[in-house]
């Protein structure tokens, strides 16, 4: 696989060396972190070290971090009726943006009839006036908005949303899975109440994540009941190796964040300049603040699955912007929410970079695209002749 080019970092990232070392070391620990003996205390030490690292990465207190099996579980845990801020009322309904990850769109423990959707602009940014309208008059709401979108990379105005939600007596959860390690942010500065992160998007192992809770928040009720692990918020013997890897990856991501952001932004400029050489290229959300590593694009007539296969045959791993489950490519719900028709929403290709992406990778990707788009345009001319 060494001569392949990996441009699908928003799907998952390679394991960082720091995370590999921490995971391997923790795998060999014999103790259960709940045991009082030396072996147990050693396992506990690794978990608490990771908790501090994740807390530092998001700007929270270590005791606010609840480790889970990933971003999906953290989202499901967060979306719970009954949550309340200090002195506030319990939330009774859920409002989510229309461009959320599916694990949020399912609504956690809210019934489908108590979920409302906030619209987004053509550039994929949450419409705060619509949020205000939805909050007006109804019972207290939990609102869930992602910090950055996984398909377009569009960064959402979560700080403004927090002020609006709190003014209306609600609670704000943000899904920061795609933002961690790509942009710097601070949970307290943003003023949000709950925040989701996942290890495998920052160079940690797959199958571990965290929900981070603000001080003074009551709830959520645990999803998994049993032992008193994670301050009784998430039962089950901890995945010490995964958690240790998450902590090491989060710390490493924070260490290289400013330098890596600047470098990746330069690479993306090169990439997008090259893509724009093809007539009719549309780069989604390019008029708003985006994650520095993400480009979602299309050209007229492009079929995402054909392009993904074409790139793959040329040795480049990319993904379609649209959801692909059970082998069937669905139009992207994100692009449809942005007002694009099903044809365009089915034709978007996502290129996403990471810390080891090099100039040569961008060159190879553009070379593959020139050949693919040339063939595509030729066959379109044939079909219209």
Kindly state the helix (H) or strand (E) to which residue 84 belongs, with its residue range. none
Q: Phi/psi of residue 354, each to 5°?
A: -150, -170
User: Considering the complex, what minimum distance in angstroms separates the CB of residue 227 from ligand PLP?
Assistant: 23
Q: Which of residues 64, 150, 239, 364 is near ligand PLP by CB under 6 A?
A: 150
Contacts to ligand PLP from residues 217-246, by CB under 6 A? none
- By CB under 6 A, which span of 91-99, 119-127, 172-180, 186-194 interacts with ligand PLP? 172-180
Residue 152 binds ligand PLP, judged by CB under 6 A? no
User: Considering the complex, what minimum distance in angstroms separates the CB of residue 174 from ligand PLP?
Assistant: 10
* 295 and 154 Cβ atoms separated by less than 8 Å: no
Residue 72 binds ligand PLP, judged by CB under 6 A? yes
Closest to 196 measured CA to CA, from 170, 216, 176:
176
Sheet holding 115-118, edge to edge: 65-68, 209-213, 194-198, 171-175, 141-146, 93-97, 115-118
- By CB under 6 A, which span of 71-79, 108-116, 301-309, 344-352 interacts with ligand PLP? 71-79
Q: Of the two residues 11 and 25, which places its CB atom closer to ligand PLP in the complex?
A: 11
Q: Of the two residues 296 and 376, which places its CB atom closer to ligand PLP in the complex?
A: 296
Query: What is the rounded distance in angstroms from the CA atom of residue 8 to the CA atom of residue 361?
Result: 12
Compute the C-alpha angle 199/253/16, nearest 5°: 65
Closest to 228 measured CA to CA, from 39, 66, 53:
66
Query: What is the rounded distance in angstroms from the CA atom of residue 316 to the CA atom of residue 248?
Result: 28
Query: What is the rounded distance in angstroms from the CA atom of residue 271 to the CA atom of residue 157?
Result: 26
Q: How many residues bind ligand PLP (CB under 6 A)?
A: 14
Residue 198 binds ligand PLP, judged by CB under 6 A? yes
β-bridge mates for residue 297, sequence order: 283, 349
* 172 and 158 Cβ atoms separated by less than 8 Å: yes
- By CB under 6 A, which span of 69-77, 224-232, 300-308, 355-363 interacts with ligand PLP? 69-77
Q: Which of residues 80, 177, 283, 337 is near ligand PLP by CB under 6 A?
A: 177
Residues in the chain: 385
The dihedral region occupied by 127, where left means phi > 0, alpha psi between -120 and 50, and beta the remainder, is beta
Q: Of the two residues 200 and 350, which places its CB atom closer to ligand PLP in the complex?
A: 200
User: Considering the complex, what minimum distance in angstroms separates the CB of residue 178 from ligand PLP?
Assistant: 5
User: Considering the complex, what minimum distance in angstroms separates the CB of residue 336 from ligand PLP?
Assistant: 17
User: Considering the complex, what minimum distance in angstroms separates the CB of residue 253 from ligand PLP?
Assistant: 15
Residue 70 binds ligand PLP, judged by CB under 6 A? yes
Out of 269, 324, 342, 375, the active site residue is 324
User: Considering the complex, what minimum distance in angstroms separates the CB of residue 139 from ligand PLP?
Assistant: 26
The CA–CA distances, whole Å, from 243 to 26, 176, 197, 294 equal 9, 18, 12, 27
Alpha-helix residue ranges (DSSP H) falling in 276-316: 304-313
* Interface pattern 309-338 for ligand PLP (x via CB under 6 A): ------------------------------
Residues 299, 301, 304, 305: is their CA dihedral positive or negative? negative
Residue 346 binds ligand PLP, judged by CB under 6 A? no
Q: Of the two residues 140 and 205, which places its CB atom closer to ligand PLP in the complex?
A: 205
Residue nearest to ligand PLP (CB): 71
Report cis status (omega within 30 of 0) of the bond before 220.
Answer: yes
Active site residue 256: no
Q: Which of residues 170, 203, 205, 209 is near ligand PLP by CB under 6 A?
A: 209
Pairing of strands 209-213, 194-198: antiparallel
Kindly state the helix (H) or strand (E) to which residue 197 belongs, with its residue range. strand 194-198
Q: Of the two residues 94 and 299, which places its CB atom closer to ligand PLP in the complex?
A: 94
Q: Which of residues 178, 260, 285, 364 is near ligand PLP by CB under 6 A?
A: 178
Tell me which residues touch ligand PLP (CB under 6 A). Answer: 70-72, 75, 101, 103, 146, 150, 175, 177-178, 198, 200, 209
**Which residues are part of the catalytic machinery?**
324
């Amino acid at each position: 696989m060494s001569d392949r080019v990996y441009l699908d970092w928003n799907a998952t990232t390679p394991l960082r060396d720091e995370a590999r070392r921490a995971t391997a070391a923790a795998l060999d620990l014999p103790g259960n972190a709940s045991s009082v003996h030396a072996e147990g205390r050693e396992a506990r030490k690794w978990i608490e070290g990771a908790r501090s690292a994740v807390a530092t990465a998001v700007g929270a207190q270590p005791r606010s971090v609840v480790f889970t099996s990933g971003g999906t579980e953290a989202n499901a845990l967060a979306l719970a009726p009954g949550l309340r801020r200090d002195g506030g009322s319990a939330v009774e309904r859920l409002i989510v943006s229309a461009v959320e990850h599916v694990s949020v769109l399912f609504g956690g423990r809210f019934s489908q009839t108590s979920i409302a959707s906030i619209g987004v602009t053509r550039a994929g940014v949450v419409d705060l006036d619509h949020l205000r309208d939805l909050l007006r008059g109804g019972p207290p709401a939990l609102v869930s908005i992602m910090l950055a979108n996984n398909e377009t990379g569009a960064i959402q105005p979560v700080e403004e949303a927090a002020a609006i939600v709190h003014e209306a007596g609600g609670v704000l959860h943000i899904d920061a899975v795609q933002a961690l390690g790509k942009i710097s942010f601070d949970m307290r500065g943003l003023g949000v109440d709950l925040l989701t992160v996942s290890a495998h998007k920052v160079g940690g192992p797959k199958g571990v994540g965290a929900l981070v809770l603000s001080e003074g928040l009551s709830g959520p009720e645990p999803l998994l009941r049993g032992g008193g692990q994670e301050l009784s918020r998430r039962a089950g013997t901890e995945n010490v190796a995964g958690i240790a890897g998450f902590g090491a990856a989060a710390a490493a991501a924070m260490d290289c964040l400013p330098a890596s952001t600047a470098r990746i932004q330069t690479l993306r400029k090169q990439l997008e300049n090259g893509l724009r050489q093809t007539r009719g290229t549309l780069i989604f959300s390019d008029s708003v603040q985006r994650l520095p590593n993400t480009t979602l694009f299309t050209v007229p007539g492009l079929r995402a699955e054909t392009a993904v296969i074409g790139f793959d045959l040329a040795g480049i791993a990319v993904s379609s912007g649209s959801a692909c489950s059970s082998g069937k490519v669905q139009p992207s719900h994100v692009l449809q929410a942005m007002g694009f028709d099903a044809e365009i929403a089915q034709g978007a290709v996502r290129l996403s970079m990471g810390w080891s992406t090099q100039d040569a990778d961008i060159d190879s990707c553009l070379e593959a695209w020139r050949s693919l788009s040339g063939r595509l345009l030729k066959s379109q001319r044939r079909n219209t002749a």
